[in-house]
């Protein structure tokens, strides 16, 4: 399947495959050597869980854009992948139809999840929110941070753009989650993405 997806990517104008690997160890080495714009990670690898490879890549090469491909239930593993630093999650059965769309969205700074996964995460957010939880409770700076999260901007970059420390950005994230009654970081990302997209449609 890996070779088939590679051919699919190569057939697209403006996209190319700079390297392939059949296991986590070789994949981590390739990322360091090739420094790709985007890494597509299969959760099922012969030597290591794909989530662990994702964490290793984020630890050794912070900010690397990663898109996770999986045959596992997205309701459970999709959120875990986002928490670990992935910018998108695709089920293998839908890869042929959605891989290019997902890749382009992630490369443009967005976050890609299926409509079903986005709906489930939003239901979780809405279910956890209290009647008083509202965007109106956020400060101007917290709204800035929320918008950047929704546009796929990494914590380090948010800190640089706002001239604050990464620790302060994390504090803002915590305050936003508290005010919106969101308990999960991945759910916050999903909420922010949908909020930004809804504003663009107005």
Q: Residues 114-170: pLDDT tens digits?
A: 777 777 777 766 665 554 457 778 888 998 999 899 888 888 999 998 999 999 999
pTM of this structure: 0.64
| Residue where a domain terminates, one of 65, 84, 113 | 113
When divided into structural domains, the chain yields a total of: 2
Judgement on whether residues 102 and 131 belong to the same structural domain of the protein: no
- On whether both 129 and 108 belong to a single domain, the answer is no
- 108/142 same-domain check: no
The candidate with the shortest Cα–Cα distance to 57, out of 19, 78, 30, is: 30
As a whole number of angstroms, the distance between CA 162 and CA 71 comes to: 39
* Residue 23 per-residue DSSP state: S
For 27, the domain range is 2-113
The residue among 113, 138, 163 that closes a domain is: 113
Last-in-domain residue among 97, 113, 129: 113
């Amino acid at each position: 399947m890996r070779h088939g997806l590679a051919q699919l990517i190569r057939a697209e104008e403006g996209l190319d495959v700079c390297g392939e690997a059949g296991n986590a160890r070789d994949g981590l080495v390739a990322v360091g050597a090739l420094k790709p714009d985007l890494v597509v990670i299969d959760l099922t690898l012969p030597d290591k869980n794909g989530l662990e490879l994702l964490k290793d890549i984020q630890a050794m090469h912070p900010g690397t854009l990663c898109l996770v491909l999986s045959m596992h239930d997205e309701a459970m593993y999709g959120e875990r992948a986002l928490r670990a630093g992935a910018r998108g999650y695709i089920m293998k059965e839908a890869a042929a139809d959605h891989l290019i769309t997902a890749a382009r969205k992630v490369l443009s700074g967005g976050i890609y999840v299926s409509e079903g996964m986005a709906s489930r995460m939003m239901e979780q957010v809405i279910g956890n929110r209290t009647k008083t939880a509202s965007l109106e409770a956020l400060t101007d700076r917290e709204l800035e941070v929320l918008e950047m999260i929704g546009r796929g901007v990494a914590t380090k970059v948010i800190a640089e753009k706002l001239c604050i420390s990464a620790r302060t950005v994390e504090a803002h994230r915590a305050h936003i989650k508290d005010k919106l009654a969101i308990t999960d970081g991945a759910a916050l990302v999903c909420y922010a993405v949908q909020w930004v997209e809804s504003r663009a449609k107005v």
